[in-house]
Structure 1
Amino acid sequence: MKYRTIGIFAHIDSGKTTLTERILFEAGKISAVGSIEDGNTESDSLQEEIDRGISIRTTFHSLPWKTTFGEFQIQLVDTPGHIDFRNQVTDLLPAMETAIVVLEAGTVVQSQARLVIEELTKASVPMVFFINKLDRFGDEYLDTLVSLEEILGGAPVALFQKNESGKLEFYFHHPSAFPKTVKEELISWSDDLMISSWNDPSGQTDFSMIGLHTGPKAGKLYPVYGGSAKTGEGVRELLDLVLWTEPKAIENTSSQTIPLLVLSRRTNPEFGRYAVIYPTREILLEEIHSLWSRLVTGDSGKELGRSTENDLPEENPFHFLDPESEETITTLEKGKLVLLKNHPGLVLLPGYQVSQTRDSFSEEDSSSSERSQSPFSVVIEPEESSEKEFWLCRLEELVWEDPGYTLQNKEDTGQMVLLGRGELHLEIGVRRVMERTEKKLSFSSINIAKLEHLKKMSHKVALEHRAFEDQKSSGALIAVLEDTADFSKQIAFEVSLPEEVKNSIETSFLEACLHGFYGEEVVGLKFRVLSYEKPKGDLQTTLTLLKVAILAGVKELFPSNTYLVGPLTEVEVMVDADHLGVVLSDLSRRNAKVVSILEAVAGKSHLKANAPAQNLLGFSGALRNMTKGIGISWERTAFTYEFHAVLKE
């Protein structure tokens, strides 16, 4: 059996889940097509997904598919479209063999689809594009193709057209119905195919089909089909085309690593926590156990082979289950998704290979740098202190399923802090935690991180503190405080000093930066120590006085010399022209800067704006009310030196 892992990616509301439903129906996996409006789709099972009509979690579906060139078992992956759940998309890419990117007819390629295309290109995942909703928009997809070409840096090839009766026909099934120029487009990306075609004047070999097979994997051909996920037009043809294209080769990076990629994490009421795993090669359970044994004992140089009982640790941490039957399996086929039960000795981090706990530090460090701490958070407190463990367990389960959340347990206050990727992400997280329980939980409104940045300056200071009626002195410290073009806090010593003195100066400076004039952490400054005259006497007393001198002297400079900054949010809105005025009025009230307003098709306007993140809290809900549910918004929030909002100067 040939297994093919195919991901479906799109901007929100482009029809991803509807396409998944239609594919499952066409494959005979379901007897009727569910709808988002009725809340009965296979992909959206969480109550929050049903209530909101959006996908929150990645879902996996296995289905058989027969073609004229072979039989396949498709492992279909339906991904969330909202930017707040983007980490679930990027975590899948190392194991993604082919991608279906769903685009919406009647408009340009929208923001999240653009981001997804960039991520897929970076990960070298072959892409096939499907322009959806042609049942509503007919031939209005030229803008889609033009904007897609701009994103790709190369022309996509439309492989569908209407026949004389007005029905869509598709190149892969009816190549003779298409003009010769289409055949030429399918081979023009490859000099070898062009030369081979010229050397075959009789046309015995269809080189266009070879080009269609190999071009997407080479990243030089971008086939586009069109149709309607709702009516099913073009869906069967789309699957045939996707399976014809050559998949990305997923290889094991090293013979000394465990050949298992983690795609996602879940919790099952029967057997607890588990991960969805992609094996990068065929392997027996005893081989994995043998490799594990050598990694644990440090004997990684031994040739991989069958293990003996004496080689094995006392406990085998690997327990694999079949996704369909949930029965234990002992042989893994390359590319066939399996479930791996969680074990204390394993690190199951989505987007990475399975590793052992003692080797997890660098991996977690690298992941934390990629997943920088979110500026959005809520403070959570149980109404009954005795229930804290209950809520901690629930929050930990949420973080297990979605590593986009971060949990901080404040032992000193009894509070818990949940950080998320955005307003929607946090709202959904809190609601999920509070489902199916009568216990009560208090939570704050959403907090948004702020910083104070030093204004442009370079100020020389002389710091000294005296005590005990001037009998004791910290010594005179001469330094320069200056701004930096980033969010860092730097210290530089331009004089040689004892290590304990340097440590005292550094820790005192960093402590002084914890709270500035506005009460926030101060960043974007450098403290250059030019000289220090250490007095005679007890060193500990001197260091204590030196700390006081630095704290007082540095803090004295913050008033009027810092400005308050926070995260900046970019927002894009697709709205009917009738509602444009009220949306612009609301954005103006939120001090948003309108970047552009473009006329889209079907009487819609495409608006781009940006504003401080704190000003746009609640905007998505307000937009739904203003437009009676017709307006669609997309938001991206970041908090870096290059991308931030100035709140107070």
Structure 2
Amino acid sequence: MKYNTRNIGIIAHVDAGKTTLTERLLYYTGMIHKIGNVDDGNTAMDRDIQEKNRGITISSAAISTQWKKDQNVFNINIIDTPGHIDFAVEVERSLRVLDSVVAVFCASSGVQPQTENVWFQAEKYGISKICFINKMDRMGADFFAVLNEIKTKLHAVPLALQIPMGSEDNFEGVIDLIKQKALYWIDENGETIIEQEIPENYKADAKEWRMKLIETLAEQDEIFFETFLSSEAQISEEMMIEAIKRTCLLRAVVPVLCGSAFKNKGVQPLLDAIASYFPAPNQLPSIKGKDAKTEKIIELERNDEENFSGLVFKVVIDKHMGKLAMLRIYSGKIKSGHTVQNVRTGENFRISRILQMQSDKTLTIEEGKAGDIVALTGIKDAKTGDSLSSTEKAVLLESITIPAPVIRVSIEPKTNADEKSFGLVLAKIQEEDPSLVVERDRQTGETLLSGLGELHLEVTLEKIRLNHGIEINQGKPKVSYREILTKTRKYREKLVKQNGGSGQFADITFEIGPRENNETGLEFINQIKGGVIPGEFIPSVEKGFREAMENGTLKGYPLENMKVTLLDGSAHSTDSAAFDFEIAARDGFKAAAKSCKPKLLEPIMQVEIQSIEEYTGIVTADINKRRGIITSIDEKSGRKTFTAEIPLASTFGYISDLRTLTSGRASISMKLSHYALVPDFIANTLIT
């Protein structure tokens, strides 16, 4: 039965139709009995009031459903993820626990910037993919152009399992290249599929694309290649399906299907493909982790008999049930009442209840097994990225990467009466979204909220107002700059304190400056010879420098990177302690960094703007005004696509400004590209 579980995600650019497609998947699997639409604000996956109002997915919703194929019932766990870059952490933490994804493309827009982002995030986690080219009924829909973009822009090997019959208003149905049949959806809800012979005017295309399908499989799969060589006539449907399954698991190919989710066409074949071609959890390689005690790498088999291990990929605070830890179980099994260990804290917890999430509903289940995605109650101190394991054998799994925030805003409650609950609410939203950072400005005493973009902060503040009833005053958005050292200097720091009894002593000579390779973080090189500084104190020196990097000497912004070479030093036989060397490193940094010509770095956004020809001049002039550099201008389906690099500081309010400039005829998407030096004429105004 375990072969019948599929853990899948739905990924795409904003507005490619992810939520609409998910809604149809749920309808045809019988999970919901009425089709919801994003435009009507009644979709099952978008539970949040803002998701309904804005028509976008903010938090990745999880839902379990079933699909019957060839007398087998498949349990499909679906996670619908946001397409907006501001919610990148939602995508990241979902992909970390999924086995495969359906990538949704708009048939007229093709591969867009955020599609590339999430695609390569999925690549990082080694996830199998199926592509669904959606909106075949839309103006400018071109299945074959998108197929080509998947190849050129995403460097994938697309495997068309279907080709469309017509496009735009003439989109009738699809041709199944494996069955060699034409499929039509005849009723309004798309529940009845009629299989017919391929129409005469599509026979040549169908033959050509079926041949391409067979040839691609022969190139990518040895077993299939041998059959193909011996006798092409002997190739059966089953042989093709098995070859697709093998190549999909190895991520050698990406099967491609098409349809129109909104018009209820093409969804059931996609469900069949999910069941047929995506791997079950126990068909994947064993999971690697670290033994928490010995730090040795260990491998766990993905079955129910193995030692229990799981990863918390999200924390949800529910009004009725309190704190829910969303958990992917990788090995073993758990029952309610079992005691498990949070490996990060070393604490043991008793599981109160195990829940299966069905979007806004939950179902209590007796046990969770390897491969399941469940929610647990009773895990009090759980955070995103925590490993849970059996108490007998603590296993640490690879955590989840949380991107650093790039924008911040000062906030305070409008009334003093909300002051107490304001702090509690901020703690709660930080637990749910680890990419938000709340801190107090040491100079002004203000509360600062940092996030991944304007929309991210806007949505968070709206959530505080709508869900918790707290009205908020906010300042103007500010950029989270970074600092960098531009020169290398040698420096000696000596800490000597005598205050009766044992004193404090640490002496270090070091070289400090920028990293040569521009990689982020600290590069620490220990060149101490002859034990002049005892070995046990060296990690404290490194720790001191690492902590000091959090606050640069220019304006207190974190350093992007730094290289420190520890050259020499000395220690006192009785007065020296590890903490003394930590202090010496921190003090040495403060003193030395000032002479290393520190400079400010600012986040540069990669911006893509789609507009019509007549606004080319206006859009170009506006990019220049914002200190932007245009990197490319493409034309497709009568629309111009501008790609530019623009400093984040110049993008505040860009979306509404652009709408005004182009009378609402342009769309924009942004993602963090890199950090670059702030020009001197601007840096001078920021530093004074």
User: What is the TM-score with the length of structure 2 in the denominator?
Assistant: 0.74
Match of 1:631 in 2: 666
Q: Per the alignment, in what secondary structure is the counterpart of residue 42 of structure 1? A: coil
Report whether the alignment pairs 1:191 with 2:222: yes
Letter in 2 for 1:388: E
- Does the CA-based 8 Å contact 1:79-1:88 persist in structure 2? yes
CA–CA distance in 2 between the matches of 1:528 and 1:335?
A: 46
Residue equivalent to 1:469: none
Alignment partner of 1:580 is 2:616: yes
Within 5 Å, which residues of 2 pair with 1:295-374?
316-324=350-358, 326=362, 328-344=364-380, 347-350=382-385, 353-355=387-389, 367=399, 370-374=401-405
Contact 1:215 1:221 in 2 (8 A): yes
Tell me the distance in 2 between the aligned counterparts of 1:327 and 1:399.
27
CA distance in 2, matches of 1:595, 1:626: 21
- Unpaired runs of at least 5, structure 2: 182-197, 199-205, 288-299, 495-506, 684-688
Q: In structure 2, what is the Cα distance between the partners aligned to 1:512 and 1:283?
A: 43
- 1:280 is paired with a residue of what secondary structure? strand
Please tell me whether the aligned partners of residues 612 and 645 of structure 1 are also in contact (alpha carbons under 8 angstroms): no
Q: Does the CA-based 8 Å contact 1:216-1:245 persist in structure 2?
A: yes
Q: Which whole-Å CA distance do the structure 1 matches of 2:369 and 2:561 have between them?
A: 52
Residue 193 of structure 1 deviates from its aligned partner by 1.3
Q: Does 1:240 align with 2:272?
A: yes
In our comparison, the structure showing a higher alpha carbon Rg is 1
> Quick one: structure 1 residues 187 and 400, their matched pair in 2 at CA, closer, same or farther if it must change by over 3 Å?
same
- Please name the residue that 1:13 is paired with: 15
Indicate whether 1:593 and 2:598 are aligned. Answer: no
8 Å CA contact 2:389–2:395 kept in 1: the answer is no
Per-residue displacement from partner, 1:74-120 (whole Å, max 9, x unpaired)?
Answer: 32221100112122222122432332111111234111111222222
Alignment partner, residue 160 of structure 1:
162
Percent identical: 23
The alpha-carbon distance between structure 1 residues 423 and 198, as it changes in their structure 2 partners (threshold 3 A), is: same
Checking the alignment, whether the CA contact within 8 Å between 1:512 and 1:554 is kept in structure 2 is no
Q: Structure 1 residues 550 and 85 mapped into 2: Cα distance closer, same or farther (>3 Å)? A: closer
Matched, 1:262 2:312: yes
Return the offset for 1:367. Answer: 4.8
Alignment partner of 1:115: what SS?
helix
CA shift for structure 1 position 257 = 5.3
- Scaled by the length of structure 1, the TM-score of the pair is 0.78
Contact 1:516 1:522 in 2 (8 A): no
Partner of 2:643: 608
Assess, with a 3 A threshold, how the Cα gap between structure 1 residues 509 and 571 changes in structure 2: closer, same or farther. Answer: closer
Distance in 2 between residues matched to 1:297 and 1:270, nearest whole Å: 28
* Cα displacement (A) at 1:630: 4.0
Asked whether the 8 Å contact 1:186–1:212 carries over to 2, the reply is no
Contact 1:492 1:526 in 2 (8 A): no
Is structure 2 residue 601 aligned with structure 1 residue 565? yes
For structure 1, which runs of at least 5 residues remain unmatched after alignment? Answer: 299-312, 465-475
Please say which of residues 70-79 and 589-598 is displaced more in the overlay: 70-79
How far did 1:419 drift? 2.2
8 Å CA contact 1:374–1:420 kept in 2: the answer is: yes
| 1:259 partner amino acid | S
CA–CA separation in structure 1 for the residues paired with 2:326 and 2:543: 46
CA distance in 2, matches of 1:124, 1:85: 21
* Deviation digits for residues 483-526 of structure 1 (CA, Å, limit 9, x no counterpart): 54346597988899789x99999979997995645675677666
What are the superposed Cα offsets for residues 170-206 of structure 1, whole Å, 9 maximum, x if unpaired? 3267326532514523531112112134445662743
Match for residue 324 of structure 2 among 257, 270, 274? 274
The alignment's C-alpha RMSD in Å is: 4.6
Q: Once structures 1 and 2 are overlaid, which stretch shifts more, 395-404 or 332-341?
A: 332-341
Matched letter for residue 357 of structure 2: P
The match for 1:620 is 655
Q: Which moved more, 1:326-335 or 1:98-107?
A: 326-335
CA shift, 1:38, in A, is: 2.4
Q: Which residue of 2 aligns with 1:450?
A: 481
Task: Name the CA distance, whole Å, in 2 between partners of 1:506 and 1:292.
Answer: 28
Q: Structure 1 CA distance, aligned partners of 2:445 and 2:393? A: 32
Partner of 2:335: 285
Partners in 1 of 2:390 and 2:370 — Cα distance? 21
Q: Distance in 2 between matches of 1:157 and 1:551?
A: 55
Matched, 1:77 2:79: yes
Secondary structure (helix, strand or coil) at the match of 1:134 reads: coil
How many residue pairs align between the two structures?
Answer: 604
Give, in whole Å, the separation in 2 of the partners of 1:212 and 1:434: 49
Question: C-alpha displacement at 1:413, in angstroms?
Answer: 6.9
CA distance in 1 between partners of 2:547 and 2:9 (Å) = 46
Aligned-partner residue type, residue 140 of structure 1: D
Closer/same/farther in 2, CA of residues 294 and 231 from structure 1, 3 Å limit: closer
- Assess if the C-alpha contact under 8 Å between 1:170 and 1:237 holds in 2: no
Give, in whole Å, the separation in 2 of the partners of 1:386 and 1:6.
45
- Which structure: greater strand fraction? 2
